[in-house]
Amino acid sequence: MKEVKIETELKVYDDVNELPEDVQKLMSSAQEARENAYAPYSKFKVGAAIYLDNDEVVIGSNQENASYPSGLCAERTAIYYAGAKHPNAKILKMALTASSQNQLTDKPIPPCGACRQAIAEYEIKQEQPIEIYFMGAKGKVVKSNSLANLLPLGFDRSVL
């Protein structure tokens, strides 16, 4: 028997103003996208903004449906749109922000498991890590240098 320890390294910024200027702009795009979320059931709005290597910014917001599994998260809305519109571009950075009408979201809110899996697919496809920044409606911002930090032991095509 062997015991294995898996560690994750993240950087935590006290607020958006500590971020590099380009990431501040990307987070601002995510915040604008968040306001366009369709979340009448959960009252939980999420916005995502993706910066591509062709200098394009692609945004997405969560879109709910009365049939709950039929909705889609902001991260997947954005990443699938980027893949459809710019199939040869690499994703360099992703900014995520979430807010709730039910409570204050002042803690960083990471991508859900399904979104982590979707982002992992693109990170593997492009053979290059994706920087991910995430926050609540305000407060601290967390940076991960790659999705692999957020999803260790990920499932990928190598097992198929």
Residues catalogued as catalytic? 75
Identify which of 27, 33, 17, 87 has the alpha carbon closest to the alpha carbon of residue 51: 27
With the C-alpha atoms ordered 146, 77, 82, 80, is the resulting torsion angle positive or negative? positive
Compute the distance between CA of residue 126 and CA of residue 144 in angstroms, rounded to an integer: 17
Spacing of C-alpha 68 from chain mean position: 20
Question: In which element (H, E) is residue 44 found?
Answer: strand 44-52
Instruction: Report helix, strand or coil for 82.
Output: helix
